[in-house]
Structure 1
Amino acid sequence: MTGNTRPGGRTARVRGAVLQAAGDALAEHGLAGLDLADVARRAVVGKTTVYRRWGTVAGLVADLLLDMAEQSLPRADTGSLAGDLRANARLVQRTLSDPRQGALFKAVIAAATSDPRTAEALHGFYRTRIREWAPCVDLATARGEVPAGTDPDEVIRAVSAPLYYRLLASGDPVDEAAADTAAEAATAAARAGVFVR
């Protein structure tokens, strides 16, 4: 076998344990309280392993966000734009209202305001998720549900933006009703041509 990683082998198990521990610590203490030695202790791996592989807290957060993007559920294909956007909104809602995941996102977003490497990792996470869901808008365009030239990325952003606003700014509940309203608003705006480039 070539390379130094084995699918499902020790390397994957160590990475999984470390990322789980990092996410837990980040959700509990925020970025300021994230310490590589503490993450190693929580993950029950050697400190040198963590320092050698991730090097810095920013490197660890970047890998955590990459893993979260990779592990997130794939997009739905319900056969309608309204159904697809509702599925997207409900996925975002479940993530943000989860006690661990919601706290983790708050911590990462706060850290991204002052740490360029964390910001780039966060931007990469959202680029990945938008790429995953944008094809539902292309399919809706092909079905004639929305005008030609509708910007898929902007439609997907319009679904999640109200939910993040509730999480970070207003403190209003991030519940299914909010998710459904966000999806309905984005669908109506897309049908009206608001997102045509």
Structure 2
Amino acid sequence: MDVELFERGRAEVAPSAVHVPHWLGAERQRALLAACREWARPPAGLRTVRTPGGGTMSARQVCLGWHWYPYAYAPTVVDGDGAPVKPFPDWLGELSRDAVADALGPRAVPERPYDIALINFYDGDARMGMHRDSDERVPAPVVSLSLGDTCVFRFGNPRTRTKPYTDVELRSGDLFVFGGPSRFAYHGVPRVHPGTAPPELGLTGRLNITLRVSGL
């Protein structure tokens, strides 16, 4: 087991944008990974996302609750096999609410239930450009959970894709929540560190589970 010289503590990276290391313990990580593997199976399984300009995202994705495609939501996989999107489980909604309460406080927990999960799989070469999560109809906090390989998570500002931004190292089990004045901040993943996943997890690559309230 690796021993760190300095323990990683929670940090407010920007107003109402909080990083909580080690939020998921080893058992919860394994359980969430097992669920992700089931969700990734067809129909409505893991797919390559194509952008309106004809390009493709290097991170592959599967959705729960509502299917996201650039830049809207649908009840079916309109840009894939056309199957109905997999349901969003109640336990994942409870996990989302617990995450917000822990990171931002109970008053930040939205009245509407969490009902969307975007699950992105990154291999060693995958990246995510700077973007905003702005296709939802309510500005409830976004919850992000990491499994597997460590990544550099770049968290910026609501005005521009460029600086100022802060690079945060997200490891397996880490939580990142952003809401309030940072809800529409640009963010991305410029780099993944291959081979850094906990060996006992049994995952090659990185999974990011992003949880949202649609307002639909």
Same fold (TM over 0.5): no
Q: More helix by proportion, 1 or 2?
A: 1
- Of structures 1 and 2, the one scoring higher in RCO (CA 8 A, sep 6+) is 2
- The TM-score normalised by the length of structure 1 is 0.30
- The TM-score normalised by the length of structure 2 is 0.28
Larger radius of gyration: 1
